[in-house]
Chains A and B, each alone.
Chain A
């Protein structure tokens, strides 16, 4: 059932929110011991939210657009009084004294906040294997990773526990797991969704976005969470893009750009599905434009300097003084060192050190400074491409979901998973992964739609076509 229909049923008492809550809990209970999508879940809190929503309906009120719709929350979003860990030992047990803006918006829309989902520690990773609390398994094939870093949120929707979840995307952390778990995932335009209360990984790249079973559902969740927030200085002071009004308008006349840099290096099966997606759009009236953008290949290296540099600073605050865990030591510097050494996992340490190095005296110009210039090149490259096309179509990931441990020994191999998703983050542009068939092992394949800033309405139109054509 669609989110729209579910909310409508709850609003008209055809279905009670408490029943939705109980069904959701039952689905999670049945399978999440195996999948491990949730880090924190409290049945009582879920039921009491549902009861409040039903009470509002009973009193003749409208709980909102997501009335009684269960939504899972990536555990790097602050929710007051609810454990928020970033899948890190350093924050284990921490209960934020405030709500992220997106949490407030979900509550105001009448959603049931179901729980906090697993992720790679501090959102650093592409497989959810870097969680301090155990990996999440791919619900399609539990011997494989769900992708990352928002693996728990992708798996929760992929396992059909619930229709919606929130993730965050810094270099592909929504789109890559969406592709691996066979769900829709959107990284919105930078500044359309508030980052207030999103625990920062790389501030100039992070963006909160939706996972959903369908393109329509993703569109509703996006509209609910988007909009200007005075608590976030980087929030766009403009009305949030309206995607639902035009979502069924089709792609007639749409110019779809094809660049080898967003396809080359994939497995043959992934490539075949990207080509099939091109054909599907053309069949509905779109035209293809063959372009080339070699600069996009520089994105990976630039990203792996910029993101760790910002992270090294953002993660400095975990020092054992104000919140989180502390390892005692005789003096404050030793306490901070002991706390951080015990509290962070290897990938987090690796990126903190990499970022510290990239910013340190003598290396700033060669690394961080150069990466910022490459970022300019990539923005200019996209501007050139979008002068000739409306959207770009490519692969979301080079491969389908890989097996546990396949890339843990080699950080570079893991980083390469994000090769196609990173450029949109560097440019601040929206991009979306839409399920488009499966490989020979039945593993989902995602195709990626990219567009210029605030082009979400166009991406959703194209995604809707791909969704309807995916089964053919």
Chain B
């Protein structure tokens, strides 16, 4: 069980950047207050001693849901690209990429 320290503005700034959101100073302040309150109420479970309880990720105890390796029809490219913000030469176009993929 780990101890949770109170959330502050620097956490909110960091989390916003991880989530690709940009916040004004006023927003940082407002969200910090709100998130801190929510996390305060989450503290009641953060502090529980649940060492021997196993976590549940799924409400169902299913396993081995598999499909055959059979090709199915793909989508029509024109229909898909018609919904894209920017297209060039049959591909999705994006502005300059800074930095390689992880």
B90 within 8 Å of A (CB atoms)? no
Contact B41 A321 (CB under 8 A): no
**B60 with A191: CB separation less than 8 A:** yes
- Minimum CB distance partner of B96 in chain A: A331
Min C-beta distance of A101 to chain B, whole Å: 15
A370 touching B50 in the complex, CB below 8 Å, given contacts A95-B83, A301-B45: yes
CA A190 to CA B86, docked complex, whole Å:
38
In the complex formed, the residue of B with least CB distance to A232 is B65
Q: Are B45 and A337 in contact (CB under 8 A)?
A: no
A389 at the interface (CB under 8 A from B): no
A328→B94 CA distance, assembly (Å): 9
With A97-B80, A304-B42, A350-B34 known as contacts, the answer to whether A330 contacts B95 (CB < 8 A) is: yes
A298 within 8 A of B: yes
Interface check A332, CB cutoff 8 A: yes
A74 to chain B, nearest CB (A): 21
Q: Among the listed B11, B15, B65, B94, which residue makes an inter-chain contact with A321, where contact means beta carbons less than 8 Å apart?
A: B94
Q: Which residues 37-84 of B sit at the A interface, judged by CB distance below 8 A? A: 37-39, 41-42, 44-46, 48, 50, 53-60, 62, 65, 67, 75-76, 79-80, 83-84
Complex CA gap A411/B41 in Å reads: 12
CB–CB B57/A204 < 8 A: yes
Complex: A356 Cα to B39 Cα, angstroms: 13
Residue total for A at the interface (Cβ-Cβ under 8 A): 72
Residues of A within 8 A of B89 (CB): none
| Known A321-B94, A352-B21: A301·B79 in contact at CB below 8 Å | no
B3-47: CB near A (< 8 Å → 1, else 0) gives 110010001100110111111000000010011011101101110
- Determine which of B21, B38, B58, B98 lies in contact with A204 in the assembled complex, contact meaning CB atoms within 8 Å: B58
8 Å CB interface, A107-126 against B: none
Name the contact of B46 in the complex, choosing from A95, A97, A367 (C-beta under 8 A).
A367
Distance A320 CA – B92 CA, assembled complex (angstroms): 10
Q: Which of A349-370 contact B (CB under 8 A)?
A: 349-350, 352-354, 356-357, 360, 363, 365-367, 369-370
B45 touches A412 (CB 8 A): no
A98 within 8 Å of B (CB atoms) = yes
Please report the C-alpha to C-alpha distance between residue A426 and residue B56 in the assembled complex, in whole angstroms. Answer: 9
The CB with the most chain A CB atoms within 10 A, among B45, B55, B76, B94, is that of B45
Q: B86's closest neighbor in chain A, by CB? A: A326
Is B85 interfacial (CB 8 A cutoff)? Answer: yes
Q: Are B20 and A336 in contact (CB under 8 A)?
A: yes
Asked whether, in the complex, the Cβ of B37 is within 8 Å of the Cβ of A411, the reply is yes
A472 interfacial contact with B, CB 8 Å = no
Checking A321, A341, A411 against B22 with a beta-carbon cut-off of 8 angstroms, the contacting residue is A341
A237 CB contacts on chain B under 8 angstroms: 62, 65
Give the residue of B3, B18, B37, B44 whose beta carbon is less than 8 angstroms from that of A356. Answer: B18
Interface residue from B20, B31, B55, B83 paired with A319 (Cβ < 8 Å): B20
Contact status A190-B4, CB under 8 Å:
no
Contacts A326-B85, A353-B15 hold; do A379 and B75 have CB atoms under 8 A apart? no
> Does A372 make an interface contact (CB < 8 A)?
yes
Task: State A95–B3 Cα separation when bound (angstroms).
Answer: 46
Residue of A nearest to B40 (CB): A412
Of all chain A residues, the one with the shortest Cβ separation from B59 is A428
Q: Which listed residue, A312, A332, A412, touches B95 by the CB 8 Å rule? A: A332
Residues of chain B within 8 A (CB-CB) of A302 are 45
> Is A366's CB under 8 angstroms from B22's CB?
no
Given contacts A298-B44, A332-B97, A337-B21, contact A324 B15 (CB under 8 A): no
Q: Does A270 reach chain B (CB closer than 8 Å)?
A: no
User: Could you tell me if A304 and B92 are in contact, using CB atoms closer than 8 angstroms?
Assistant: no
Return chain B residues, CB-CB under 8 Å to A319.
20
| B88 contacts the other chain (CB 8 A) | no
Q: How distant is the Cα of A363 from the Cα of B34 in the complex, in angstroms?
A: 18
Question: Quick check: is A335 within 8 A (CB to CB) of the other chain?
Answer: yes
Chain B residues with Cβ below 8 Å from A402 are none
Instruction: Report the separation of the CA atoms of residues A377 and B99 in the bound assembly, to the nearest whole angstrom.
Output: 44
Report whether B83 and A370 are in contact in the complex, using a CB–CB cutoff of 8 Å: no
A386 close to B (CB within 8 Å) = no
Q: Is the CB of A340 within 8 A of B20?
A: yes
In the complex, chain A residues whose CB is within 8 Å of the CB of B76: 97
Q: Which residue of B lies closest to A95 (CB)?
A: B83
Can you add 17 more A-B contacts, CB < 8 Å, to A356-B19, A366-B1, A412-B38? A94-B83, A191-B60, A191-B62, A304-B41, A321-B84, A321-B85, A329-B95, A331-B98, A332-B96, A337-B21, A340-B20, A349-B31, A352-B19, A353-B19, A357-B7, A367-B39, A376-B53
26 A–B contacts, CB within 8 A, in A order:
A94-B83, A97-B83, A98-B75, A234-B62, A236-B62, A301-B41, A316-B20, A321-B94, A326-B85, A326-B86, A335-B95, A341-B22, A341-B23, A350-B35, A353-B12, A357-B39, A365-B1, A367-B39, A371-B45, A373-B55, A374-B50, A411-B34, A411-B38, A412-B41, A427-B59, A429-B59
Binding site for A on B (CB under 8 A): 1-4, 7, 11-12, 15-16, 18-23, 31, 34-35, 37-39, 41-42, 44-46, 48, 50, 53-60, 62, 65, 67, 75-76, 79-80, 83-86, 92, 94-99
Q: Which 7 A-B pairs give the minimum distances between C-beta atoms?
A: A428-B59, A372-B55, A326-B85, A375-B56, A373-B50, A373-B53, A233-B65
